Amino acid sequence: MKKIYTRPKSLKRTPFHYCPGCGHSITHKIMTELIDEMNLQDKTIGIPPPGCSVFAYNYFDIDMAESAHGRGAAVATGLKRAYPEAIVFTYQGDGDLAAIGTAETIHAANRGENITAIFINNAVYGMTGGQMAPTTLLSQKTTTTPYGRDDKIEGYPIKMSEILALVKGSAYIERVAVNSPANIIKAKKAIRKAFQVQIDCLGFSMVEILSPCPTNWKMSPVESWKWIDEVMVKEFPLGVIKDITGKKDAG
Amino acid sequence: MAKVLMNGNSAIGEAAIRAGCQCYFGYPITPQNELTEYMATHLSRKKGCTFIQAESEISAINMVYGASLAGVRAMTSSSSPGISLKQEGISYLAACELPAVIVNMTRGGPGLGSISAAQSDYFQATRGGGHGDYRTIVLAPSSVQELADLTYKAFDLSDKYRVPLVILGDGMLGQMIEPVEFSYEAPKELIIRNNALRGAKGRTSRIVKTFTSNPATVEEINWSLFRRYQLIKQEEVAWDTFMVEDAQLIVVAFGIAARIAKGAIKSARIEGMKVGMLRPITLWPFPAEKVREVANRTNYFLVFEMNMGQMIEDVQLALEGAGEVSFYGRTGGVIPTPNEVLRVISRLYYQKGLK
């Protein structure tokens, strides 16, 4: 019988520790599928962040190294410059990439570092228990904005993809979501393109992934998928934000 | 190679390149900019080498971490306020057992302090500096030649034990110009390559990390580091002595302070005072045994530092009450003269009734 579906080779046979409905497991799966499809398992190095996905190295069957909070882009820069043959990606949450690591991220992009950032935006700090993220929406309740995020006190949700698109060294930036089969397919295409941009040495690439966090959003998985569609994409519209390759669709 | 005239900061750069350092990541801060500039000029165009002026000291140390992961010799340099920022990265390097050389051309502190030479980062350098239970090897050169020689040694030791290493210089050593000879050639095969993350080709995938949800695993990491530190303490302690054989008073000083003290001791000898010096070259591990050995000959110690008294604690710990320890220090970037130290020596010498 023809096998049409199997566990990706680059995905370890370890049960995910992520909560039901979490976007990390979906993202891990499509990334490891891509690593297989693009034949990158023996040259890819991943830099996971502190946070829920610190355990990414338990699932990706590739070389991986932990990074300090927010420093992924700097670590990836050092690694890629020292060993340019590697395909290097950072895997970062919104607190990591858009708050504590803003400087590292912007400057890595501005230098046109040939690295790929996988940016998980779930509008909340996950592992620490649901505090406000830089991407938390206005009036969204978190444990540190118990009355809802107020722009007069906490400012506005920050749009890293749009900011990084302005930086000359960035080559490809797309915002996707992992909240429906159709969107997951689009997300996979975007990550494929980001990796290809790195392989072609075109500069910094990033895929921002709107990702459900049912636990901290206090929703069911189905509700959280809907919330992305109905609320989150209004603040963070999906689509290609920057593409210097001139190719519309590499997937 | 013949001797050349060079400032201390540039000498570190040249020595690092000769030691096979392939990556330098820095951020401007006085008084160490000549090193960053030397690397920008001489390392950046070298094949397979990288120079980046990072966006911050934090980024620079994390780039070092990344390069070290890839198995190449990497370094960063800064001065006191910048070294404070690097402590996060140094802790991660220590935890992940990654070699790295960090140069601190110390200036006056705390805070923004002054840009003049000081030794007030002794505690920070020798006690780990960042969070967690770790140590870094700390080397304290006291001349431009020694800056070069200890830079080679820094890379060798850091690779050998897979620990981050701090070269603790100061603003004066960095700026002063002296003759220096470069004689080192890096080994062709560097052991740092052995554990490199370069993709899981022909082997199982490799993970470099410290975080686990099991505290007992982290405790075991600490024990593993501790055992290595014990080995370093046994094997790598280095010091220098000057006229200690008949000395009745021993000055203990490191780095540029030892240089100043040497002038004072020479003058004291002319005046008939039997004064000698013990100069720790490794500040961690500290030459405690050597201090005790010297204490068999005399009871009187003068610790002289360009800070408010930091190394004095290690001297006192080493002596375990066996000797009488006095202290003289200037700080904030004030550089004392040999005559000033001579006055302190004379006063002490006669107060204690030494002959």
Place of tokens 């201390």: B8
Single-letter residue type at B353: G
SS3 for B164?
A: strand
For residue B69, which residues of chain A lie inside 8 Å, CB to CB?
A: 45, 65, 75, 78-79, 82
For residue A74, which residues of chain B lie inside 8 Å, CB to CB?
A: 54, 58-60, 62-63, 65-66
Q: How far apart are CA A102 and CA B28, in angstroms?
A: 20
10 Å Cβ neighbour count for A224? 23
pLDDT at B93 over 50: yes
Calculate the CA dihedral of residues A209, A212, A217, A222 and round it to 10 degrees: 150
Contact at CB, A82 and B72, closer than 8 angstroms = yes
Q: Return the axis-axis angle of helices B144-161 and B215-235, rounded to nearest 10°.
A: 140
Q: What is the pLDDT of residue A249?
A: 53
Q: How far apart are CA B110 and CA B121, in angstroms?
A: 9
pLDDT at B63 over 90: yes
Strand partners, A210: A121, A177
SS3 for B142?
A: coil
Report yes or no: B272 and B249 within 8 Å, Cβ to Cβ: no
pTM (2 d.p.): 0.97
Structure tokens of A146?
């118990």
What average pLDDT score do residues B34-43 get? Answer: 98
Q: How far apart are the first and last CA of chain A?
A: 28
Q: How far apart are CA B346 and CA B351, in angstroms?
A: 8
Complex-level ipTM beyond the 0.90 threshold: yes
Nearest by CB: A74 against B22, B66, B196:
B66
Place of tokens 């070298």: B46
Question: Which segments of chain B are extended strands (E)?
Answer: 4-7, 23-26, 50-53, 74-78, 100-106, 137-139, 164-170, 177-180, 207-208, 239-242, 249-252, 275-280, 282-284, 300-305, 324-329
Place of tokens 């290609």: A240
Q: What is the pLDDT of residue B184?
A: 85
pLDDT in tens, B174-198: 999 999 999 888 888 899 899 899 9
- Backbone φ and ψ for A35, nearest 5 degrees, come out as -60, -40
φ/ψ bin of A249: left (φ > 0), alpha (ψ from -120 to 50), beta (otherwise): beta
A176-185 core/surface letters (b: 16 or more CB in 10 A; e: else): bbbbeeebbe
Of residues B277, B247, B285, the one with CA closest to residue B338: B277
For residue B88, which residues of chain A lie inside 8 Å, CB to CB?
A: 68, 71
Q: What is the pLDDT of residue A224?
A: 98
For residue A112, which residues of chain B lie inside 8 Å, CB to CB?
A: none
Q: What is the pLDDT of residue B187?
A: 85
Q: Where in the sequence of chain B do the CATH 3.40.50.970 domains occur?
A: 4-235
Residue B146, min C-alpha distance to chain A (Å): 28
Q: Which chain B residues in 185-204 lie under 8 Å from chain A, judged by CB atoms?
A: 196-202
Q: Is B22 on the interface with A (CB under 8 A)?
A: yes
Q: Which chain B residues in 126-155 lie under 8 Å from chain A, judged by CB atoms?
A: none
Q: How far apart are CA B305 and CA B256, in angstroms?
A: 9
Q: Is the dihedral of CA A65, A69, A72, A75 positive or negative?
A: negative
Q: What is the pLDDT of residue B211?
A: 87
Q: How far apart are CA A127 and CA B207, in angstroms?
A: 21
Contact at CB, A78 and B25, closer than 8 angstroms = yes
Q: What is the pLDDT of residue A250?
A: 44
For residue B55, which residues of chain A lie inside 8 Å, CB to CB?
A: 103-104, 106-107
For residue A111, which residues of chain B lie inside 8 Å, CB to CB?
A: 52
For residue B202, which residues of chain A lie inside 8 Å, CB to CB?
A: 42
Q: How far apart are CA A74 and CA B74, in angstroms?
A: 14
Domains of chain A and CATH, by start: 23-243 (3.40.50.970)
Q: What is the largest CA-CA distance in chain A?
A: 62
For residue A81, which residues of chain B lie inside 8 Å, CB to CB?
A: 23, 50, 52, 63, 66-67
Contact at CB, B66 and A107, closer than 8 angstroms = no
Q: Is A61 on the interface with B (CB under 8 A)?
A: yes
What average pLDDT score do residues B59-80 get? Answer: 98
Output the CATH code of domain B4-235: 3.40.50.970
Q: How far apart are CA B13 and CA B19, in angstroms?
A: 10
What average pLDDT score do residues B162-166 get? Answer: 98
Q: What is the pLDDT of residue A251?
A: 42
Contact at CB, B198 and A86, closer than 8 angstroms = yes
- SS3 for chain A is CCCCCCCCCCECCCCCCCCCCCHHHHHHHHHHHHHHHCCCCCCEEEECCCCHHHHHHHCECCEEECCCCCCHHHHHHHHHHHCCCCEEEEEEEHHHHHHHCHHHHHHHHHCCCCCEEEEEECCEECCCCCEECCCCCCCCCECCECCCCCHHHHCCCCCHHHHHHCCCCEEEEEEEECCCHHHHHHHHHHHHHHHHHHHCCCCEEEEEEECCCHHHHCCCHHHHHHHHHHHHHHHCCCEEEEECCCCCCCC
Q: What is the pLDDT of residue A247?
A: 62
Q: What is the pLDDT of residue A248?
A: 55
User: β-strands A63-65, B100-106: how paired?
Assistant: unpaired
Q: Is B207 on the interface with A (CB under 8 A)?
A: yes
Tell me the pLDDT of chain A (251 aa) as tens digits.
888 899 999 999 999 999 999 999 999 999 999 999 999 999 999 999 999 999 999 999 999 999 999 999 999 999 999 999 999 999 999 999 999 999 999 999 999 999 999 999 999 999 999 999 999 999 999 999 999 999 999 999 999 999 999 999 999 999 999 999 999 999 999 999 999 999 999 999 999 999 999 999 999 999 999 999 999 999 999 999 999 998 655 44
Question: CA nearest B89 in A: which residue?
Answer: A68
| Beta-carbon contacts below 8 Å between A and B | 138
Upstream peptide bond of A20 is cis (omega within 30 degrees of 0):
no
Q: What is the pLDDT of residue B21?
A: 97
pLDDT in tens, B107-160: 999 999 999 999 999 999 999 999 999 999 999 999 999 999 999 999 999 999
10 Å Cβ neighbour count for B76? 34
Contact at CB, B199 and A107, closer than 8 angstroms = no
Q: Is B93 on the interface with A (CB under 8 A)?
A: no
Q: Where in the sequence of chain B do the CATH 3.40.50.920 domains occur?
A: 240-351
Place of tokens 């004066």: B172
pLDDT in tens, B226-284: 999 999 999 999 999 999 999 999 999 999 999 999 999 999 999 999 999 999 999 99
Half-sphere exposure of A30 (CA within 13 A, CB side): 23
Report yes or no: A91 and A53 within 8 Å, Cβ to Cβ: yes
Nearest by CB: B207 against A57, A79, A104:
A57
Contact at CB, A75 and B62, closer than 8 angstroms = yes
Of residues A34, A210, A179, the one with CA closest to residue A116: A34
For residue A195, which residues of chain B lie inside 8 Å, CB to CB?
A: none
Of residues B195, B199, B217, the one with CA closest to residue B97: B195
Q: How far apart are CA B47 and CA B20, in angstroms?
A: 12
SS3 for B60?
A: helix
Quote the mean pLDDT of chain B. Answer: 96
Residue B57, min C-alpha distance to chain A (Å): 11
pLDDT at B4 over 90: yes
For residue B27, which residues of chain A lie inside 8 Å, CB to CB?
A: none
Residue A40, min C-alpha distance to chain B (Å): 9
Q: Is B62 on the interface with A (CB under 8 A)?
A: yes
CATH fold for the domain made of B240-351? Rossmann fold (3.40.50)
Which of A36, A83, A100 best probes binding to B when mutated, by most B CB atoms within 10 angstroms?
Answer: A83
Q: Which chain B residues in 242-301 lie under 8 Å from chain A, judged by CB atoms?
A: none
Report yes or no: A186 and A174 within 8 Å, Cβ to Cβ: no
- Backbone φ and ψ for A45, nearest 5 degrees, come out as -125, 125
Q: How far apart are CA A249 and CA A240, in angstroms?
A: 10
Nearest by CB: A65 against B60, B200, B209:
B209
For residue B201, which residues of chain A lie inside 8 Å, CB to CB?
A: 42-43
